[in-house]
Amino acid sequence: MTALDRRDVELSLLREQLPLKIREAFDGDGSPTASVSQLRAFADRLEALAGDDAELSSLAADARRAAADVDGAVEPPPSSGPFPSWSEVELAANSWLAKHWKCDPLRFHKTAPGGAGAQVQYQVLVDAYVVAGYAKCVQLRLGLVRSDEGWIVGTVAVGS
């Protein structure tokens, strides 16, 4: 794949995923903290690619406005049940990817229901949209464990 082809694929992914992330940021199911971080990552990447492209600049501005609107929203309370809430999954995944892969998560989409695992307390399969050099989608199987600080990622398996 040429650099121009990869840029076209990346722009298509960004155009497709940004409206979904904006809608999710306001639906009350996810983490406001993770949403603000993800929306800012969208804006940063779109601005880096925009140059003189007014459409990309407009999309970046939409992402910044949405991040500002969500910023300061109260996190949902921690799950009291045996499994984490979606907001806890988002926070754990966001934190793990930023720390271990040094990338900017853009959005997570659950592709299979979560449930108890053998080595961890909760497993979930997600498509992780990230900026790691360029925007791309990576399928991850996350194994989360409950810690004193809340739910954290204990294991990660990368799919195709």
Condensed to tens digits (0 to 9), the pLDDT of residues 83-94 reads 899 999 999 999
Mean pLDDT over 2-19 rounds to 93
Domain that holds residue 70: 3-158
Nearest to 39 by CA among 17, 57, 56: 17
Mean pLDDT over 120-132 rounds to 89
* pTM, two decimal places: 0.91
Q: Is the pLDDT of residue 122 over 80?
A: yes
Q: Is the pLDDT of residue 102 over 70?
A: yes
Mean pLDDT over 63-79 rounds to 94
The CA distance from 35 to 64, in Å, is: 11
How many domains in the chain?
1
Q: Write down the pLDDT at residue 9.
A: 93
Q: Is the pLDDT of residue 134 over 60?
A: yes
> Whole-number mean pLDDT of the chain?
91
Kindly report each contact of residues 79-85 with a partner whose C-beta sits within 8 Å and lies 24 or more positions away, as own/partner.
79/151, 82/116, 82/121, 83/114, 83/115, 83/116, 83/121, 83/122, 84/114, 84/122, 84/144, 84/146, 84/151
Mean pLDDT over 124-148 rounds to 92
The CA distance from 156 to 52, in Å, is: 39
Q: Write down the pLDDT at residue 119.
A: 57
Mean pLDDT over 108-113 rounds to 85
